[in-house]
A and B are shown apart, each in its own frame.
Chain A
């Protein structure tokens, strides 16, 4: 074991996503970051990120994976806080780093357990021996600890709170790190370690439950967001939930396929949002947008492709990806998963329709919206390329030879099959759900017949709660952060400053007093010195007398 690298179908798929989409985002960033005083630093961070991300997916053992894992976390921290002169950005960076650290620490414990059990971190060796070395409970412990790392990195419930705040970073960062690549590292980890997860049925169930809960939960939050990037952030969390859903049902190939498709359309959506923000001079609030399709036609067209792709309109990528997940759920007899997945799919079409109509349709609702301008080619060319990808990536599953899942089978194993409703019927139902969602958003936000501001107010307090992520942040703050801060305050300013320092200072002061006292014994008179000698001699003689 050492710094071994390994290129197989899974890592090959990952590096194509990382370098392919990464390259487009870098081109986009050339335009987006132009004029930033720390332009060079931005790109060095970005490239450092790509380096670590490639290490993560190319490592042939958990050690190299962990190196990349921590490295991308560092770059994420640096890039979220890139504009750290705004204190909120620095706060967001800290939050992201610390929250993911919780998962990372548990994951490290998991890696330590692997070392204890196997004496190695090498993938081949661990997976080869897992069946004989691990008991079911040991496998559960290891798999769950690894999954804790995935929860942190992929912003799954309950460690999802950092990702919406991470939108403080520049938009290319959100697209590359917080949509297309780094946050999918958790999915990669589960897929890569699926042997361990399968040894423990419990762990797979946990993955499935977390995925389903996250997919629905984050989708409800996304519906109520007013900031275009926060909508996309919650959307990303929800979509990552779909990937874990697939992995939890042993459909690892489907999870990877979803990952690839999502990378295309989510990067496209983020970059499109960036183009809108750029065109509106850093305005991110949906309520001040409107009617931008005339001023930003290219951005509109590409964003439309991305939104429809995620909403699940055939033949765009998201349709195939989402459908594959729901199909596995239905065919393996998981009706609840299928139902909840469909609800999440409905919500995801709904919130994207909402963004679409609030941003590009209707009348401009602010001066900035009226003065918006289209992006330069350096921004829209990557958008166009990504739009082609988002439109066509789903076809990877169409032909038998081109099936991505088949390509991955050597590592992931076959996608579980079963009996159920015909694929075409499922596709039709899913398409109808998406169309209904989009139609209702058109009716509410696009038709002009509904007072959507008043509509929202009538629904209070639900929208406010969803806007605040159902107050999970506030609960964490009350239950964990404030007590921890209070404890830290007590140790720092009472225990350390008063009691420990106080004791130390008291000792110091005492010694000093003693020294001053001793100095006064030194009178300078020979007679007192002689007395000291005499008394010393007497003391020793008394001792000798007692002794004999």
Chain B
């Protein structure tokens, strides 16, 4: 008799719900006479909310750790990432609803289903225990994001989407090749095998080819480094951030980084754990290059979205800094950093969206001149986000930086921490420069702030969260501690 595998769908209920309501949204878009943002938002929230509830139900999961033929892991690590990603999707949808309301001509209802699909890909990638599933999820989120980037159809957005797509395909090829090499090394694509030995067991038992495993590691690094926009695989980032509609950037900037990093942590710290001494130097090098390139080149930027793009490159470097410590301290630091970074990114791009009431044109630094006089609330919120990005207390960004640096130092990588601190000094220049523009320059002529209430509330809540986490980081570390994927 052929044994039927026990199919346990509960661990992927969040993804199932997201995809279901993405399809509902597509049907609404297709059949509604005049699609409106509000029903779209409602459909998205109906998908996101229950997805969060079903994700939360997995926190105290007592079933098997790996389900669906060992392709999906059930652990608190993926619950944390799902919560952050669903939150980012919610805020992104909120922003876009407002964004569409002020320019109804440019409204594209596809935003909501695409965002839900992308979110499904992102949440799945952080839970996947099989490189093939990771690749599938990666493509799901990437393809959705390519389209989202060009969703307005404006020339610049389309150009950015095209670049993103071409380069993304290029890097996906590297990733896929890495998957193939991993299979060659371990005769399995499972990260942890239960029924049959997975990658980690094969490498630990030295049953596979060491050379193929190293090759796989190198290629997988390229694929992930592209997604997290670590230098020198970062070149797409400024163009895409600048070209894409701001709500898309808010969602993409926050969520992609979280998803890709959580997947990277699972693949490297669990699957390639036997190769730790081989991959940490690579991570180390990527961290240095990313921190330096991101911090230095940002100085020359006069467009706030590009500036934040380079900032995101530098932050990728800081997160990699934490990961050079291949232990629970480093992973915990990276997780804290990712959560804080996601919150700040969502907030900062929310402000970018509100600084100018019309279109995408006003992202130059000059548009921020005198913002404090034009709309003091926006300037104050932006200041909180910029200070957090710069790592200045009492914000979560400060705690995040301290934890990644101390993790790196604890692992003996103090030169990297020195680079990080020096680069933070450099970075303070361009963050503070925006604050100087907002508070100490004469207001720019002919620019009106958006007076949207909903995004303002969202940004306010995010800013409050940043400050609260900066003063009481224990709230978050208490959650992250039991969620770490490794125990050493």
Do A and B form a real pair? Answer: yes
In the complex, A518 Cα to B292 Cα: how many Å? 11
A530 neighbours in B (Cβ, 8 Å): 166-167, 170
B282 neighbours in A (Cβ, 8 Å): 540, 543
Interface size class of B (residues with CB under 8 A): 35 or more
In the complex, A535 Cα to B235 Cα: how many Å? 12
Counting CB contacts under 8 A, is B214 at the interface?
A: yes
Counting CB contacts under 8 A, is A503 at the interface?
A: no
A518 neighbours in B (Cβ, 8 Å): 293, 296-297, 300
Please determine whether B217 and A544 come into contact, CB atoms closer than 8 angstroms.
yes
B426 neighbours in A (Cβ, 8 Å): 511
In the complex, A535 Cα to B301 Cα: how many Å? 25
B293 neighbours in A (Cβ, 8 Å): 518
B219 neighbours in A (Cβ, 8 Å): 537
CB closest residue in chain B, given A530? B170
Which residues of chain A from 528 to 548 have a CB within 8 Å of any chain B CB? Answer: 528-530, 532-533, 535-537, 540-541, 543-544, 547-548
- Contact string against A for B residues 201-213, beta-carbon threshold 8 Å, 1 for contact and 0 otherwise: 0000000001100
Counting CB contacts under 8 A, is A519 at the interface?
A: yes
Known contacts A533-B232, A548-B211: A515-B299 contact under CB 8 Å: yes
- Contact string against A for B residues 463-478, beta-carbon threshold 8 Å, 1 for contact and 0 otherwise: 0000000000000000
Counting CB contacts under 8 A, is B359 at the interface?
A: no
CB closest residue in chain A, given B239? A524
**B249 to A: closest C-beta gap in Å:** 17
Counting CB contacts under 8 A, is A516 at the interface?
A: yes
Please determine whether A540 and B218 come into contact, CB atoms closer than 8 angstroms.
yes
In the complex, A328 Cα to B265 Cα: how many Å? 91
B238 neighbours in A (Cβ, 8 Å): 522
Counting CB contacts under 8 A, is A459 at the interface?
A: no
Please determine whether B171 and A533 come into contact, CB atoms closer than 8 angstroms.
yes
B429 neighbours in A (Cβ, 8 Å): 508
Please determine whether B298 and A533 come into contact, CB atoms closer than 8 angstroms.
no
B167 neighbours in A (Cβ, 8 Å): 526, 529-530, 533
Which residues of chain B from 205 to 262 have a CB within 8 Å of any chain A CB? Answer: 210-211, 214-215, 217-219, 221-222, 225-226, 232-233, 235-236, 238-239
Known contacts A540-B221, A548-B210: A533-B297 contact under CB 8 Å: no
A532 neighbours in B (Cβ, 8 Å): 232-233, 235
State which of A515, A535, A543, A544 has its C-beta within 8 Å of the C-beta of B300: A515
In the complex, A532 Cα to B163 Cα: how many Å? 14
Please determine whether A535 and B232 come into contact, CB atoms closer than 8 angstroms.
yes
Counting CB contacts under 8 A, is A514 at the interface?
A: yes
Q: Which of B163, B225, B235, B281 has the most C-beta atoms of chain A within 10 angstroms of its own C-beta?
A: B235
Counting CB contacts under 8 A, is A512 at the interface?
A: yes
Q: Which of B171, B210, B300 has the most C-beta atoms of chain A within 10 angstroms of its own C-beta?
A: B300
Please determine whether A512 and B300 come into contact, CB atoms closer than 8 angstroms.
yes
Please determine whether B215 and A543 come into contact, CB atoms closer than 8 angstroms.
no
A536 neighbours in B (Cβ, 8 Å): 222, 225, 232-233
In the complex, A285 Cα to B214 Cα: how many Å? 97
State which of A515, A519, A533, A547 has its C-beta within 8 Å of the C-beta of B233: A533
Which residues of chain A from 329 to 383 have a CB within 8 Å of any chain B CB? Answer: none
Counting CB contacts under 8 A, is B278 at the interface?
A: yes
A535 neighbours in B (Cβ, 8 Å): 232
**A88 to B: closest C-beta gap in Å:** 39
Which residues of chain B from 418 to 470 have a CB within 8 Å of any chain A CB? Answer: 426, 429
In the complex, A512 Cα to B163 Cα: how many Å? 28
In the complex, A508 Cα to B298 Cα: how many Å? 13
Please determine whether B232 and A519 come into contact, CB atoms closer than 8 angstroms.
no
In the complex, A526 Cα to B232 Cα: how many Å? 14
Counting CB contacts under 8 A, is B174 at the interface?
A: yes
- Contact string against A for B residues 24-52, beta-carbon threshold 8 Å, 1 for contact and 0 otherwise: 00000000000000000000000000000
A511 neighbours in B (Cβ, 8 Å): 296, 299, 426
Please determine whether A544 and B297 come into contact, CB atoms closer than 8 angstroms.
no
Known contacts A540-B221, A541-B218, A548-B214: A533-B226 contact under CB 8 Å: yes
**B31 to A: closest C-beta gap in Å:** 37
Please determine whether B215 and A544 come into contact, CB atoms closer than 8 angstroms.
yes
Which residues of chain A from 494 to 526 have a CB within 8 Å of any chain B CB? Answer: 508, 511-512, 514-516, 518-519, 522, 524, 526
CB closest residue in chain A, given B298? A515
B285 neighbours in A (Cβ, 8 Å): 543
CB closest residue in chain B, given A525? B163
Interface size class of A (residues with CB under 8 A): 20 to 34
B239 neighbours in A (Cβ, 8 Å): 522, 524
B236 neighbours in A (Cβ, 8 Å): 529
Known contacts A526-B163, A540-B282, A548-B211: A533-B296 contact under CB 8 Å: no
B221 neighbours in A (Cβ, 8 Å): 540
In the complex, A541 Cα to B181 Cα: how many Å? 13
Please determine whether B296 and A537 come into contact, CB atoms closer than 8 angstroms.
no
State which of B174, B211, B299 has its C-beta within 8 Å of the C-beta of A537: B174
Q: Which of B233, B285, B297 has the most C-beta atoms of chain A within 10 angstroms of its own C-beta?
A: B297
Please determine whether B171 and A541 come into contact, CB atoms closer than 8 angstroms.
no
A516 neighbours in B (Cβ, 8 Å): 300
Please determine whether B210 and A537 come into contact, CB atoms closer than 8 angstroms.
no
**A521 to B: closest C-beta gap in Å:** 8
In the complex, A444 Cα to B429 Cα: how many Å? 76
Known contacts A518-B293, A526-B167, A529-B163: A543-B233 contact under CB 8 Å: no
Please determine whether A514 and B225 come into contact, CB atoms closer than 8 angstroms.
no
Please determine whether A512 and B299 come into contact, CB atoms closer than 8 angstroms.
yes
In the complex, A479 Cα to B438 Cα: how many Å? 52
Known contacts A526-B163, A530-B167, A532-B232: A537-B222 contact under CB 8 Å: yes
- Contact string against B for A residues 227-242, beta-carbon threshold 8 Å, 1 for contact and 0 otherwise: 0000000000000000
In the complex, A529 Cα to B169 Cα: how many Å? 13
Known contacts A526-B166, A529-B163: A547-B214 contact under CB 8 Å: yes
In the complex, A512 Cα to B170 Cα: how many Å? 32
- Contact string against A for B residues 384-424, beta-carbon threshold 8 Å, 1 for contact and 0 otherwise: 00000000000000000000000000000000000000000
In the complex, A99 Cα to B263 Cα: how many Å? 70
**A512 to B: closest C-beta gap in Å:** 6
**A492 to B: closest C-beta gap in Å:** 24
CB closest residue in chain B, given A529? B235
A522 neighbours in B (Cβ, 8 Å): 235, 238-239, 297
State which of A515, A528, A529, A543 has its C-beta within 8 Å of the C-beta of B297: A515
Please determine whether A537 and B218 come into contact, CB atoms closer than 8 angstroms.
yes
In the complex, A543 Cα to B225 Cα: how many Å? 16
CB closest residue in chain B, given A541? B218
CB closest residue in chain A, given B213? A548
Please determine whether A515 and B210 come into contact, CB atoms closer than 8 angstroms.
no
CB closest residue in chain A, given B281? A543
B210 neighbours in A (Cβ, 8 Å): 548
In the complex, A533 Cα to B232 Cα: how many Å? 6
In the complex, A282 Cα to B50 Cα: how many Å? 90
User: Which residues of B are at the interface with A, using a C-beta cutoff of 8 A?
Assistant: 162-163, 166-167, 170-171, 174, 210-211, 214-215, 217-219, 221-222, 225-226, 232-233, 235-236, 238-239, 278, 281-282, 285, 293, 296-301, 426, 429
User: Which residues of A are at the interface with B, using a C-beta cutoff of 8 A?
Assistant: 508, 511-512, 514-516, 518-519, 522, 524, 526, 528-530, 532-533, 535-537, 540-541, 543-544, 547-548
6 A-B pairs whose Cβ atoms sit less than 8 Å apart in the complex? A512-B299, A522-B235, A529-B236, A537-B174, A540-B221, A543-B281
19 A-B pairs besides A537-B218, A544-B278 with CB distance below 8 A are A511-B426, A512-B299, A515-B296, A515-B299, A518-B293, A519-B297, A522-B238, A524-B239, A529-B163, A530-B170, A533-B174, A533-B226, A535-B232, A536-B222, A537-B222, A540-B218, A544-B215, A547-B278, A548-B211
Top 3 A-B pairs ranked by shortest CB distance?
Answer: A529-B235, A518-B297, A515-B300
